[in-house]
Structure formats: structure tokens, C-alpha cells
A and B are shown apart, each in its own frame.
Chain A
């Protein structure tokens, strides 16, 4: 159900604010100041939490699948096709269908987010594992390393840049897709955007400020991963 029901105020604040707010000017700092702690900040924190949980779980599943298909090559093609098809499921549709299953819960929001991040991460992990030069593998085996040792000490460290590249895409995409989650409930920064655009006259300040926070959040996660890469990958 999309239409806002119940006793929530339709416009959190439009009508009894400053002249800028009532006039719906381009951007009103007064509104941002006034509603940072009751609207923007809690939704920002929620958005960050959703993203981290979804990407962490998606990564764990993608990692296991990638290791499996690295061992058994025949698995790769079917997994890649299923993953491609999952990615074509529109986020709005996934949320709407799950709502019928699990209601307006965190599960409803997290399952699609996990699915999309998993679909982005899997090919990157596989590509990273495959990019290890054969000469390196032969040398590792020649040094007497077992299969498991080759994987953990040689292949995975060398695949790290590709894995982090995948994580960057997954995190940025998940931040973006999580805004759609607001259509199924009061979750994340999409919710203030959604409320503001449903008004008879879309409330600009709320759309722009929440939107800027979404982009800033994506950028912050991305920078964090770039820094992680710098710290971990010292050989390139």
C-alpha cells in the first residue's frame, strides 16, 4: 500500500514554518536546521544501517557462491544467468511482492537489497579469482602449497582489488536502491523524499536536502572503501 495512511502529518512542517518554507522557495536552510534531528538524521542513520547489513550479508553469500564456482567451473554459467535475471527484477516490484509475504518489516526491505548486492558482487569476486596469472599459481604449487593454501594465501589476496571494486559498486548501488525501500515503509532517506513529492506541490527543500544526503552517504562509503584498498593492497 503506497498511499500514506493513518494519522501521520501529510506535510511534516509545511505551513507553519518560515516564509521561505511556506513559499516553497528553492532551498530553506531554516527547515534543514529545524528538522535535522527529527527527520534527516534518523533517516540517514537508518539508511546507512540498511546498506551495511545488506551488503555484508550479500557479500557473505556471493563469496561462498564464488568459491563454489571457482572450484566447479560448470556452476559459473548457470549462476551468472540466474544472477542476471535477478538483476532485472525491478526493486519496487520486489518490495511490493515481499510486502505481501513479510509485511512492512525489515525483512521486506533487506531481502531485495541483499539480492541486488549479491548479484553485483558475485561476478567481481569470480573475475578477481580468475585474474590470477597462471605462472603465479604454478609457482605457489611448486613451493608445495596445498589447494586451500593457494586459495587463501595467493588467489584471494591477489583478487582483493577486484573484490573491493565490486564492493564499491555494490555499496553505491545499494544506497541508491534503498531509497526505493521508503515506498514500502518509513525506512531510510527515501521516505522524506517520498512524502515531499506526494504533496500537491512538491516541497523542494526536503527533496533536495534528503537527496543530497543520499549522494553524500554513497560518496562516504565509496571513499571508505578506497581508503581500505589503499591500506590493504600495497603492491600496485
Chain B
């Protein structure tokens, strides 16, 4: 754990120089990271969304839903990656599974809270109009739960993109490869890759926030508590 280079204010600018000198290389690494993150988020959401929505619809299993978020926060990303490393070995699959597990927590909890929290008067009215369970879910509960569903996915996406660099320790590829390899890329390379990761996760956060504003109706957002 010995730092090779010493740094000053100039070094921080060198990080940007590195980005300017190697745009193609960094873009390639960023794309690799987005691939890993996208696959993990997709799998995590595909598992967690239906479970959360179903539990919320039935108003059951709040312990499971809340427990998922607590466990999700308490399990360190590096530990998950290490555990799956011992099971699945080094490489893409190990990291994808570890990151997918990380993604399930916020998606599940928010999907549950969103559907469970739909006003009982509204669901009663829907049932009174003769809607079936599926119709109620598709036309009433899901649209009303959309803001929270989206919040869950946004939080999960940022978590996954931000954690992906750690996956480089276990052969995950992406910008993390540069960040954890100061011996090859020197400090300016590490810093340049760090800036890219920060831009990437902030960009994902802002893009999903904008998409969320665009997709969800204004009438449904008022009941959502502002969570980051």
C-alpha cells in the first residue's frame, strides 16, 4: 500500500490532461462499465420489481420489503464481490451477480412502498367499478406507484454504476481497471478515470431524474417524499 507519486494541485489538472490524451481508451472502458452495470441492473430489477409489486398489491410481506433495503445497505459491495468471487470465480459473471444483488434492495423496497401506499379509497373505487385484480394493477396501482418505482430504479442504477469500479478487483473491467492500477497508469490516469466515473454516475442520476420527471404525471409526484 505505498503511494508511488506525490500530488499537488497540478496533478489534479494532469487527470484532465489524461482524459484529453486518451479519450478513446477511456470511452471504451466507460462503455465496458456501462455494459456490466446495465446487465446487473436489468437482472436485479427483473427479479425485484415483480416481487415488490406483487407484495405491495397484496399488502403483505412488509418485513421482507423493508428487510431487503436494510440488508442491501448493510452488505458492503466489496464483501458481495468477494463472496461471489469464492463461488463463481473471477470475471464478468461474478461481478454481474454481485451488482445485481446490490440493485435488488432499493428496487424491491420502493416498488413495495409505491404499490402498497396507493390510497385504499382509490383501490376500493376501482374494485367497485368492477375491475379485475390485473386491471386494477395495470390501470390504477402501477401508474400511481410509478414515481416511487422510478426512484427505486434510479437509486439502484446509481449504486450499481458507482460500485462497478470496485468490481475491477475481481476482473470486472471498466474504468475501475484504471483506478486500481496506478502502477500502469500513474496518478494522472487514476485521477482521469476517477473523474470519468464521477461524471458517469452523476450523469446517470441526472438523466434518470429527468426521465422520471418526463414520464410520471405531475398529479402522482406530489405524494412522493423526496429521497435521494
Bound-complex Cα distance A194 to B182 (A) = 17
Q: Which of B73, B79, B182 contacts A2 (CB 8 A)?
A: B182
Min C-beta distance of B129 to chain A, whole Å: 34
Q: Which of A1, A119, A175 contacts B4 (CB 8 A)?
A: A1
Main secondary structure of the interface of A (DSSP, over half): helix
Indicate if the CB atoms of B73 and A90 lie closer than 8 Å: no
Count of residues in B whose CB is under 8 Å from the partner chain = 49
Residues of B contacting A182 in the complex (Cβ-Cβ under 8 angstroms): 78
Min C-beta distance of B160 to chain A, whole Å: 10
Chain A 25-68, CB-CB to B under 8 Å as 1, else 0, gives 00000000000000000000000000000000000000000000
Residues of B contacting A173 in the complex (Cβ-Cβ under 8 angstroms): 73
Residues of B contacting A17 in the complex (Cβ-Cβ under 8 angstroms): none
Q: Which residue of A lies closest to B11 (CB)?
A: A100
Bound-complex Cα distance A84 to B205 (A) = 9
Q: Which of B78, B166, B202, B226 has the most CB of A within 10 A?
A: B78
Taking the complex as formed, is A135 at the interface, i.e. its CB lies under 8 A from any CB of chain B? no
Taking the complex as formed, is A69 at the interface, i.e. its CB lies under 8 A from any CB of chain B? no
Residues of A contacting B95 in the complex (Cβ-Cβ under 8 angstroms): none
- A residues 88-115 touching B (CB-CB < 8 Å): 88-93, 96-97, 99-101, 103-104
Indicate if the CB atoms of A96 and B74 lie closer than 8 Å: no
Bound-complex Cα distance A119 to B204 (A) = 18
Indicate if the CB atoms of B162 and A91 lie closer than 8 Å: yes
Known: A96-B179, A100-B11, A123-B226. A193 touches B79 (CB 8 A): yes
Indicate if the CB atoms of A96 and B190 lie closer than 8 Å: yes
Known: A119-B228, A202-B85, A215-B74. A85 touches B205 (CB 8 A): yes
Bound-complex Cα distance A37 to B11 (A) = 40
29 A-B pairs (CB sep. < 8 Å)? A2-B169, A3-B183, A83-B228, A84-B205, A88-B158, A88-B204, A90-B163, A90-B165, A90-B166, A93-B198, A96-B191, A99-B3, A100-B7, A100-B11, A100-B191, A103-B3, A104-B3, A123-B228, A169-B73, A172-B70, A177-B76, A180-B76, A183-B169, A186-B1, A197-B78, A197-B170, A215-B74, A218-B74, A219-B74
Q: Which chain A residues have a beta carbon within 8 Å of chain B's beta carbons? A: 1-6, 80, 83-85, 87-93, 96-97, 99-101, 103-104, 119, 123, 127, 169, 172-173, 175-177, 179-180, 182-186, 190, 193-194, 196-198, 202, 204, 207-208, 211, 214-215, 218-219, 222
Which 4 pairs, one residue from A and one from B, show the smallest C-beta to C-beta distance? Answer: A100-B7, A90-B162, A179-B76, A176-B76
Q: Which chain B residues have a beta carbon within 8 Å of chain A's beta carbons? A: 1-5, 7, 11-12, 70, 73-79, 81-83, 85-86, 158, 161-163, 165-166, 169-170, 176, 179-183, 187, 190-191, 194, 197-198, 201-202, 204-205, 225-228
